[in-house]
Amino acid sequence: MAKQFFCPICRKPVAWLEENPYRPFCSRRCKLIDLGEWASGNRYIPGERVSPEKEDDSHEFDHTFWKS
């Protein structure tokens, strides 16, 4: 038996099934609403904001490796 939960957007009951490509949402519509909330900044992970000057540059590609 599939585990039941509620869609985080519309609160509709949903079964947790592999066949549901929108898990944990009930539909594509609810999935896109959630994506829009994140993109607009209405949803976020709390924490200290990082300004561009404070960002760590270690993720940048080291071009000196390829120079002969």
Task: Let me know if residue 23 belongs to a domain.
Answer: yes
Q: Which residue has the higher pLDDT, 48 or 27?
A: 27
pLDDT digits (tens, 9 = 90+) for 12-46: 999 989 999 999 999 999 999 999 999 998 988 88
Q: Which CATH number do you get for residue 16?
A: 3.30.50.10
54: left (phi over 0), alpha (psi -120 to 50) or beta: alpha
**pLDDT grade, residue 48 (50/70/90)?**
confident
pLDDT at 61: 61
Task: Let me know if residue 66 belongs to a domain.
Answer: no
Task: Let me know if residue 52 belongs to a domain.
Answer: no
| Structural domains of the chain, count | 1
**What is the residue range of 1's domain?**
1-42
